[in-house]
Structure 1
């Protein structure tokens, strides 16, 4: 590695930034000099033969690896990520400029505004496009529609030495308080806290508060965005939640917006900072038909229905968002104190609450639509991980929380399954005598059920379809009122209680 090579890669990065529209031609020399400053290079003599027409992520990897050899950065993944984010920050406008441009475009068309911000977030390497491309995606047909299956391979691997070094170097710090706090905007990062120099937020006033819009660095679906509160406060589902979700989709009608539940087991991975997730994608739940309609007393303008979905979903549709807020609040209030012991539904154990809702708002033409997914996080001896949580016989595929994304029909499966499921395919082909212990019974069942498998394509097809069936079972386990006649009777009793409550 020579400095001439690094200079060539720097020049290639500047050219790519120009190609992506991050900088104008007049900014090229300035940008180059800022990059050289960060790399400790005070002369510029690029080896023209080393200039590369490569992607921004590839160039950043080459430059940060070279920076380690130059002594500019350490060898740890997080140290290199800090440098990469800082280098890309050279090409990104200040937050005030990003917001000014966003809202100028918003005045013409909300979609044009989000297109601009999404392009900026991808081009700046804030959205980790190269890592995300490693994820495994496929579709799985079910009686409820087409489910999405993703095996998450995007998070970087760390070897034991790096993990140990990280433990030694990790600082006790409380700024920012968490990875969702708005103070992450432009934060350089540290060991144990991600680099965010290239991070920008859009200011979005909602119901008298300041909220912020960003995209997920590891998007699971198109334009996967996060809407976060300015204040660092716990997740909480209430009338204000419904107001904010509907207000947002009113202003950005091409996006849906939903919230994870606000209690453990049925909530997301971050309960300590109030936030929502949305995007521009139609999940299977959004396209699911009504199973049966019902009348919601006092709301003649609302079309209410039970959705044909493995989990228990009440769908409310109306032109007036205020009416939906009121009706959703009534349903939440009743559900939070609702008990049905015969169906294992208890609202509290002592003072600990168990019932909550996962809400999802979207636009359908001129109408507003609110899906209210009923949740309960009780545990018992038979199901210590959760009664309405994936049961033990499907833990070999999914045992993590069933959050908003899974509720809508997208399975986010752990990295271990990429290897494990390949082994199951090889077992079906007769090339392996056994698979991992947790998958062995399932693999034997598939072999007995499917008979001889002729080739790798058929084996992969079988395993993908059967994994989809396991995810469907996961959703069925999470449903509080099962899709049986008994479950339907239980749900009708709840709806009766809702109508009796004014």
Structure 2
């Protein structure tokens, strides 16, 4: 391999993608020479256009392994290719200035260019994300999105062993902390030299916007609090969400709930998730309107959605935040034994809300999804959580992304669905004796009865549609008010209590 050519290829790519300018050429070349421990360098003319730097980085990593610079493990390669890309990255202050300059032209121009830079820098590993299996399943609630996440590499035993040897440190405190920007990483923490943040002011406080390195949908962004403080849904949350969609009217922004089971994966750091994508829930219609005394200018409605959702629409942000606060406070203390909703047991609170904000022209739209995290002997992981019969597909918490209608499913399902498909085609009666897919045995029996004869051409589409149906069931399980006569009547009863709130 000619490493000199690979360095020139990367420099050419970086110039094409606007990561560096001609003035940065030798500076960046010298950084690469140092990282790759090369003794000589000769500029070359490179005539190629690549979508990502991944093919170049792959060859550079092979060189690094051959030269003994790194061990050939997934984590070592990820740490090193991020270090390589840092040699052709603009500094954080340059990124911020460019973003602000673009924003002065148009908010969309700013986010477009920042997102493209995040892909070009390999911070968003597009080559891996493109391997994810993605499809839509039509349902009575709209087209649900389903993805089998293949973008995160499996842990190598050698990397796991090294992680155990890393000295414990509280810096950065978590993966969302502002201090991650530029952090080199180690066996127990991903490299973040190519990570860049955009400072924001939301409700007069300092926040930052970044893109998720594992984007699950278009322009999947994360908005994080400057301070490492726990997630909390309150009046300030509604103000923050509405401020954000004022700044970026082409994006939505939502918050995970702030209680275990119904919350997201990182409750220790206050943050939101947003992006430029219309989920099924955003497209769902309002099936019943309500009126709330004192808020004649706010439209209030129940959304036709498996998870119990109240939609507020209006042009006055303060009014929306005021009413959202009233609903949240009422819900936190609300119980209805007839449908299994208890506000607390033994002093442990159970009720909270998952809020999502978006713009509709000059109007603001705020969806409030009612959540409850009670557990029982029958449902030890959560009463309003995926029940045991769907755990073979989805067992994890139902966070903001799933709430809106996108199932993020584990990588194991790719192989398991392939094996299931083979058995369906063969007409196998029972798969409970096949260890790799035995967890799907009950579901498989249902599929065999529903589809007694399956061809190789049909099987993939059939399984995708049925996985989507399971996800719909997951959302039904997570809904606090079921969509039957008793559940909808109980929903109306709560809204009546809201209207009477002081």
Matches of 1:420 and 1:124, distance apart in 2: 34
Aligned to 2:452: 451
Matches of 1:76 and 1:446, distance apart in 2: 40
Indicate whether 1:399 and 2:400 are aligned: no
Deviations, residues 350-405 of structure 1 (Å, cap 9, x unaligned): 22111000000000011000000000000000100100000110111101000000
Matches of 2:139 and 2:419, distance apart in 1: 24
Indicate whether 1:63 and 2:64 are aligned: no
Aligned to 2:350: 354
Map 1:83-162 onto structure 2 (within 5 A).
83-162=80-159
Aligned to 1:262: 258
Deviations, residues 242-289 of structure 1 (Å, cap 9, x unaligned): 000000001100000000001111111100000000000000000000
Matches of 1:416 and 1:340, distance apart in 2: 39
Aligned to 1:232: 228
Deviation at 1:315, TM superposition (A): 0.1
Could you say if the C-alpha distance between residues 208 and 53 of structure 1 is closer, same or farther in structure 2, counting changes exceeding 3 Å? closer
Matches of 2:419 and 2:446, distance apart in 1: 15
Residue 72 (structure 2) aligned to one of 64, 75, 82: 75
Map 1:148-297 onto structure 2 (within 5 A).
148-167=145-164, 169-297=165-293
Map 1:397-436 onto structure 2 (within 5 A).
397-430=393-426, 434=431, 435=434, 436=437
- Say how many residue pairs are matched: 497
Normalised by the length of structure 2, the TM-score is 0.96
Deviation at 1:19, TM superposition (A): 1.8
What secondary structure does 2:239 align onto? helix
Matches of 1:148 and 1:50, distance apart in 2: 39
Aligned to 1:23: 20
Comparing 155-164 with 393-402, which one deviates more in the overlay?
155-164
Matches of 1:54 and 1:291, distance apart in 2: 44
Normalised by the length of structure 1, the TM-score is 0.96
Could you say if the C-alpha distance between residues 107 and 89 of structure 1 is closer, same or farther in structure 2, counting changes exceeding 3 Å? same
Deviation at 1:42, TM superposition (A): 1.9
Matches of 1:109 and 1:88, distance apart in 2: 28
What secondary structure does 1:309 align onto? coil
Indicate whether 1:442 and 2:439 are aligned: no
Deviation at 1:75, TM superposition (A): 3.3
Deviation at 1:157, TM superposition (A): 1.4
Comparing 106-115 with 29-38, which one deviates more in the overlay?
29-38
What secondary structure does 2:408 align onto? strand
Aligned to 2:32: 35
Indicate whether 1:469 and 2:469 are aligned: yes
Comparing 11-20 with 468-477, which one deviates more in the overlay?
11-20
C-alpha contact (below 8 Å) 2:8/2:44 kept by paired residues = no
Deviations, residues 63-95 of structure 1 (Å, cap 9, x unaligned): 123113223233333232222112212222211
Matches of 1:47 and 1:431, distance apart in 2: 60
Matches of 1:52 and 1:113, distance apart in 2: 24
Matches of 1:183 and 1:384, distance apart in 2: 37
C-alpha contact (below 8 Å) 1:354/1:377 kept by paired residues = yes
C-alpha contact (below 8 Å) 1:171/1:191 kept by paired residues = no
Deviation at 1:28, TM superposition (A): 2.2
Could you say if the C-alpha distance between residues 371 and 53 of structure 1 is closer, same or farther in structure 2, counting changes exceeding 3 Å? closer
Deviation at 1:170, TM superposition (A): 2.3
Deviation at 1:48, TM superposition (A): 9.2
Matches of 1:398 and 1:284, distance apart in 2: 19
C-alpha contact (below 8 Å) 1:8/1:51 kept by paired residues = no
